[in-house]
Amino acid sequence: MTDLMPALEAIVRDAGALMRSAFDAPERPAYSLKGQQDYLTETDGAVEQFVRDQIARHFPGDGVLGEEAGGALDAARLWIVDPIDGTANFARQIPHFCISLGLMVDRQVVAGAIYEPMHDELYIAQLGRGAWLNGKRMRVSTVGELTAATVEVGWSTRIPVATYLDMAGKAAHAGCSVRRAGSGSLGLAYVAAGRTEGYAEPHINAWDVAAGLLLVTEAGGQVNDFWADGGLRVGNQILATNAALATQLSVLTSIPLMP
């Protein structure tokens, strides 16, 4: 397969520039709530439209699934975009958000990029070609003890509070440092970059993870079979981990990993 990374990089960098200029504008971005704690700004829609236009221009005929405008799922070549992952952070002027863009071909993610515009960090991967952070090869961490591990446990109002607290509590009782930074995509990118040892969440959507799953596996980590049981359509639970803690984190979260 041809090198898809230059095209991906160009799209997410330009999308990131749109986000950054909205973030840096004198007025705080106006937001509405799609539901409890589910933020939406004008920039989410504008960035998604920009990405759709770029894909139509450079890859005519490909399908697009986006967080804001949806899309048909049956295309053999399907781009999956979260225009702003971490929208609550973006709306609150917290500089921890990103765009996530992945390409699935015949139901397999073959390329993905996450761009975090406020720190100019580009995480990018292509199947069999490795995962890269600003041009440097990424590898998952080698930490093999839960008492030295940092694990992010994601949260949303889509699942009962008790389910989230149970997962986070088990990680904390096992000795992990538990964090929640509000962007599942960046949570996965951090595992790939070796900044944290794991990311787990009881339910997350395809646009949050399409790129990040590939980043983690190309960086030598392990993930669950997110795409099983209709993950593309309705989301799924997720676990991404370094290799050294794979078994322990799988047992702790009760989420089976792929070999």
Which residues of the chain form contacts with Ca ion (CB under 5 A)?
A: 82, 85, 208
* 170-179 burial: b if 16+ Cβ within 10 Å, else e: bbeebebebb
* Residue 183's binding partner out of ligand IPD, Ca ion, none, with CB under 5 to 8 Å set by partner kind: ligand IPD
* Nearest distance in Å: CB 120, Ca ion: 21
Q: Which residues contact residue 244 at a Cβ distance below 8 angstroms, ignoring those fewer than 6 apart?
A: 141, 142, 143, 144, 197
- Copy the structure tokens of residue 166: 């149970």
Considering only residues 33 through 72, tell me which ones interact with ligand IPD, judged by CB under 6 A.
none
Task: Considering the complex, state which of residue 4 and residue 40 has its C-beta at the smaller distance from ligand IPD.
Answer: 40
Q: Which is nearer to Ca ion, 152 or 208 (CB)?
A: 208
Kindly state the smallest distance separating residue 54's Cβ from ligand IPD, in Å: 20
**In the range 180-219, which residues lie near ligand IPD by CB under 6 A?**
182-184, 201, 204, 208
Q: Of 8 and 186, which CB lies nearer to ligand IPD in the complex structure?
A: 186
Q: Nearer to Ca ion by C-beta: 82 or 201?
A: 82
Which residues of the chain form beta strands (DSSP E)?
31-35, 38-41, 63-66, 77-85, 98-105, 108-116, 121-126, 131-133, 136-137, 150-153, 177-179, 198-204, 222-223, 236-241
Q: Which residues in 144-244 belong to E strands, given as ranges? A: 150-153, 177-179, 198-204, 222-223, 236-241
Whether 99 contacts 15, CB under 8 Å: yes
Shortest spacing between CB 202 and ligand IPD, in angstroms? 9
Q: Which of 48, 68, 82, 218 is in the footprint of ligand IPD by CB under 6 A?
A: 82
| Angle formed at CA 185 by CA 142 and CA 14, multiple of 5 degrees | 120
116 counts as binding ligand IPD under rule CB under 6 A: no
Which residues would be at the binding site for ligand IPD (CB under 6 A)? 82, 85-88, 154-156, 182-184, 201, 204, 208
